[in-house]
Amino acid sequence: MIYIYSLQILSLNSHHFEMYNSSKFEILSKGKSVLQTHRMSQFSCFKRQEKEKTTKT
């Protein structure tokens, strides 16, 4: 589980970096907050998937 989560963070970081490059006038603090909310939604989505797995079996 930790391995998958770390992979998600890596992909999120690279995605954020691309976004920052495409708009160089973007404010970093704004980008950070966006990244944090994205990370939280990713994690909650992952948790939900785990719950569905346990209910199926």
Residue among 55, 16, 43, 44 nearest 32 (CA): 16
Q: Note the pLDDT tens digit of each residue in 23-52.
A: 554 555 565 666 666 666 767 767 777 777
> What's the pLDDT score for residue 52?
77
In angstroms, what is the C-alpha Rg of the chain?
14
Residue 9 has pLDDT above 60, yes or no: no
> What's the pLDDT score for residue 1?
47
Q: Where are the alpha helices (DSSP H) in 1-57?
A: 2-22, 28-56
At residue 25, φ and ψ (nearest 5 deg) are -95, 5
Do residues 8 and 42 make contact, with C-beta atoms less than 8 angstroms apart?
yes
> What's the pLDDT score for residue 46?
73
> What's the pLDDT score for residue 53?
76
The set of residues, in sequence order, having a beta carbon less than 8 Å from that of 34 and lying 6+ positions away, is 16
